Amino acid sequence: MSGLVNIVALDGYTMNPGDHSWEPVEALGKLTVHDRTPHEEVVNRAVDADVLLTNKVPIGATELAQLPRLKLIVVTATGYNVIDVDAARSRGIPVCNAPEYSTRSVAQHVFAMILSYLHQPVQHDAAVRSGEWMKSGEFCFWLKPIEELVDQTMGIIGYGKIGQAVGKLAEAFGMQVVVHSRRARPQEFPGISWLERDDLLAQSDIVSLHCPQTDETTRMVDAAFLDQMKSTGILVNASRSGLVVESDLVEALRRGKIKAALLDVTSTEPIEDGNPLLELENCLITPHIAWASLAARKRLLQVTADNIRAFLEGQPVHVVNGVEGGNSPS
């Protein structure tokens, strides 16, 4: 590509709100970062871009038709459903994503939620500060019985890199790990029990979702799914909100069909005022932050830079729409 490469980030705040450096991307061309971009401003801000970075800002066929200079789209996330990949393919524009940057962060967050629910350290801290411990007269007190993870069964649906990382942490806590995946690989993972989904739900004390959202998995966590779980079971979703029928989950939590849900994703983000999940004490909700440790976001920015560099060198990587060459550098 002759001349200075023009790189435009449409929603850079998500990946970098200012707590680390854009230098890996800045080294590759002229970088313009918009913290956020409303839909009506997409074309205006992207019209001169050779390379477009987006996390959650949708890029459809209508926008692509108005961006004749565009050579590459880099999604600063693993999921790329915000891009019309078919429309990009028809224009010879590669779409690249960023796989695996958040594996350790998400796995850690899954257990942060589990341990927070089982031990309630924040609630106990508040109780201590409000004087409840002093009033109790006991050398120790607890708000509810504290559970151990050892000998419990962790059921993992989806066994990619994140599911595998969660499984390793579960084993470290002394849990039995059982897995359901589209493709069983017992030779690759000796010691892991591969189960049909119904058997996994019936056996697991904790069910953690780590599968992609596809036609097959969208809304799979419905009333029938939840009915198959133990009444003492805990559902963890740090994957995709679209995997869950949220109204069915609310009903299951209200009726005690399952013990608790630990969610990092919800049907609308940010969550809407009045969402019934907010009323439920047996539902712990975090604001879609499982992926967002500083270390993970630094890795994400580096992968983004690596994607751009590989394209500029004529060898694009992490291409999700089958355009290996595209409007390649000249």
Residue numbers annotated as active site: 240, 269, 288
Q: Is the peptide bond before 287 cis (omega within 30 degrees of 0)?
A: no
Q: 235 is written with which tokens? A: 């559902």
Helices 103-119/294-312 angle, 10° precision: 160
| Residue that the structure tokens 């839909």 belong to | 39
Q: Closest Cα partner for 7 from 316, 308, 327?
A: 308
Q: Where are the beta strands (DSSP E) in the chain?
A: 6-9, 30-33, 51-54, 72-75, 95-96, 153-157, 176-180, 193-194, 206-209, 234-237, 260-263, 283-285
Number of alpha carbons in the 13 Å side-chain half-sphere of residue 208: 30
Q: Which residues contact 246 (CB under 8 A, 6 or more apart)?
A: 266, 267, 277
Q: Which amino acid is at 218?
A: T
Q: 282 is written with which tokens? A: 């047996």
What's the chain's length in residues? 330
User: Distance between CA atoms of 21 and 66, rounded to whole angstroms?
Assistant: 31
Q: 97 is written with which tokens? A: 């994503």
